[in-house]
Amino acid sequence: MQSALTLLSWGPEGWLDDIAAGVFVTVCLALATLPFGLTLGFFVALAKQSEEPSLRLAGNIYTTIFRGIPELLTLFLIFFGIPLILQYIVRLVSPGTSADVNSFVAGMIALCFIFSSYSSEVFLSAFRAIPKGQYEGGYSVGLSSGQTMRLIVLPQLIRIALPGLANLWLILLKDTALVSAVGLNEILRQSGVAARVTKHAFLFYGFAGLIYLLLAIVSSFGINAIERAVGGSEVKR
């Protein structure tokens, strides 16, 4: 019977190094998803607030689908579905070869869809908080619509959307745990391996929970810093 301290130590005796590798994978996955999710979410929000009904419809279908299907199911759909499609395409070109998708990439794609469907709602409500006069002002000083968006609307939009996006980041961090189900060696899976080998399940899963908490605390410090940098609460509408 080893003590908890040895089990959680660094090196061949303990499991801390394995779990640290898992933390690295989790953080990488979340950070890799973030830019794609934000960009996609922004464009979906742009579509949903446009005056063109067909664009709005397309955006709404997107959010309805990815907010209505459980995250785990989205992940499985992508993890098992994309190879099928890829295989179909690859076989057209060269029969006999097989295609597969890495669990990190599948997780990234699935989380990107999920994150963007939620962030589009955050961006949408931020768009609605910006008065029409801002666009008209931009027009009256002769800016093109792209310039108005980039120079006038976007800086205000980010400020308004930041608290909502911060929340979504924490959700994203937690959702990465689901990717362990398709075999990505992130925190939860590494802890699970440790738990199975050592038979100290409560210790290791509890430790995994504490790591997620730690990640949340660290990110909330980061978020506060970003909020201060963009002058977060200065403009309250």
Q: By CB under 8 A, tell whether 89 contacts other proteins.
A: no
In the complex, minimum distance from the CB of residue 19 to other proteins, in angstroms, rounded to a whole number: 13
Alpha-carbon span 82 to 79, nearest angstrom: 6
Binding to other proteins in span 172-191, by CB under 8 A:
174-178, 180-181, 188
Alpha-carbon span 218 to 211, nearest angstrom: 10
Show the tokens assigned to 107: 């997780």
Report the alpha-carbon angle 51-53-54, nearest 5.
Answer: 125
Alpha-carbon span 180 to 68, nearest angstrom: 22
Q: By CB under 8 A, tell whether 195 contacts other proteins.
A: yes
Alpha-carbon span 47 to 54, nearest angstrom: 9
Give whichever of 71 and 120 is closer to other proteins, judged by the CB atom. Answer: 71
DSSP 8-state symbol, 81: H
Identify the CA nearest to 174 among candidates 183, 187, 163, 191.
187
Cβ atoms < 10 Å from Cβ of 190 = 23
In the complex, minimum distance from the CB of residue 231 to other proteins, in angstroms, rounded to a whole number: 26
Q: Contact letters (x/-) for other proteins, 20-59, by CB under 8 A? A: ---------------------------x--xxxxxxxxx-
Q: By CB under 8 A, tell whether 226 contacts other proteins.
A: no
Residue in 27, 76, 90, 183 binding other proteins, rule: CB under 8 A:
76
Q: By CB under 8 A, tell whether 137 contacts other proteins.
A: no
User: Which amino acid is located at 127 in the chain?
Assistant: F
Residue in 31, 89, 151, 216 binding other proteins, rule: CB under 8 A:
216
Q: By CB under 8 A, tell whether 77 contacts other proteins.
A: yes
Alpha-carbon span 109 to 116, nearest angstrom: 10
Rule CB under 8 A: which residues touch other proteins?
Answer: 47, 50-58, 61, 64-65, 67-73, 76-77, 80-81, 84, 170, 174-178, 180-181, 188, 192, 195, 200-203, 205-206, 208-209, 212-213, 216-217
